[in-house]
Structures are given as C-alpha cells and as structure tokens.
Structure 1
Amino acid sequence: MGPIKLDLGLLVLYLHQQEEEAVPMEGEVVMEWEEGVGWLGNEAPKSLEQLLDVFYKSSARNCLLLLNVPPNSSGLIDESDFQTLEWFSSAIDSIFSINLAVNPLSMTASSVRSSLFGPKQILDKCMETFWAPM
C-alpha cells in the first residue's frame, strides 16, 4: 500500500515498501506546516485546532507525527510559529495530564483464568501482570 492523501495536506504512510523479509515499519504522518516551500509559501501556518486534529489522527492512533516547520528567510523558526508550537505542546500536556482510564474505574471480565489474572491487572502499571481469559 502506498501513501494515502488526507485532508490538511497530510501524507499518511501506513505501510512502507520493503523487502519481503523486512518487518513493517510503524505508520507515520508527515505534515507540512504551511503550503509552499519554507518561507516562500504564502499560506498561513496551521492553527492550533488543525494541529490538534492532526495529533488525534496520528499520534493518538499510535502513529509517528513528523511536523515539518520551515525556517523563515533568516533561517530561523518564525516567532509566531514557535508560539503556536508552544501552545500545541501546552494543549497536549493539559489534555492528557489526567489518566481518565484509571479513576474511578470498575472493571469486570466475563472470563478470568484466576485471581492472578483479573481485569484489575490491566491498569496496575506492572509490566509482569495482565488479564487473561479462561
């Protein structure tokens, strides 16, 4: 499967073309910060809402997000682009600061191998425990 074009100028590479013996790479999303080439582009950079939408469609779905931010005519990241990136980082930190999957959470399972493998082991943060069905 080759690249798939999505909205917002996203290029999603779910599968890379590789040799038959190669292990498939993870999916990745490549996003252009603005249309055009670097500071020659006349389009506005992506808004915070657009960046969050891209995040939810990539990293939140276990894909890598490659965010290409072009330099300005001085070869530096533009101050407004830098500010937007800081807002984006703060928004992600704020949105995911609380693990909603942990509290309050009651879990049941229709099938459990034994009390050592119950549903509570899913979220106990121990890499050696797990839930297992009968």
Structure 2
Amino acid sequence: MAGLQSGSPTPQDLTVHGQSRVLEVSFSDGQTFRIPFELMRVYSPSAEVQGHGPGQEVLQTGKREVDLVGLEPVGNYAVQPTFSDGHDSGIYSWDFLYFLGSQQDQLWADYEARLQAAGVDRDAPMPEKAGHSCGGH
C-alpha cells in the first residue's frame, strides 16, 4: 500500500483536530473519515511498527494520548506525520489512510485482540528498544 492505486479516491481535505485527537480526511468519492491519532500510531506503516516481514510486527501500547505534532506532504501521494512520542518514520499513502478510515471498527477489534493475546494493557508503556539495528530508525 505504499503508493496510490489507479482510480482510488484521493483526499480533498485534511483537518487535524488536536483536542479530539483525530485526523479528518474527506475523499473524492464523498467519504469522510475521522481517524484517531492512536489508531494511526498503532498501525503505522513504518518498519519500526510493521517489522521487516510477516510475524515481525511490534505491538504498540501507551498511545491513547498521542498527539499529532506535524504532518508533512510526501509527493502527491502521501503524508508523513510526526507524533508526540517522537515517531515520524511512517509514510501514510492516500490508500492507506482510506483503509484506516474505512476499516476502523475491524482494526480496533484486531488491536484489542492482539493486546489480549499478548496479555498487555492498551495503556502500558512501550518496553525499551533493545538490539534493533536495521539502521532505518
């Protein structure tokens, strides 16, 4: 999902709502999504979160209060947010933002199931990083 699929809806408007911690995105097909910063952060498309292959995903916790402190355009196909916890390596294509917005209920359910399976609380602090040296972070 790194690029823009031909014929895919494109954003017409992006609004950062800091107080309610959501990114509102209106697309060319008439859909408007309010994507919580926490959801964006825990599903970041970065290697730091997704890993470098299947099964290497890093479960994110303690992100309920995360803020969006920057949002930079990447060409004409994506944005790169900077979160208040310092995470800034995810590039969110228009397709990926549409996916996050349209699949929110399922993504939240999957996230909660992953937390439960790991025996971790959503608000638990992230463990310290140790031994990861891919050089991309």
Give TM-score, length-normalised by structure 1: 0.22
Q: Which of these two proteins has the greater Rg computed from alpha carbons?
A: 1
Greater fraction of residues in strand: 2
**Larger RCO of the pair (alpha carbons < 8 Å, separation 6+):** 2
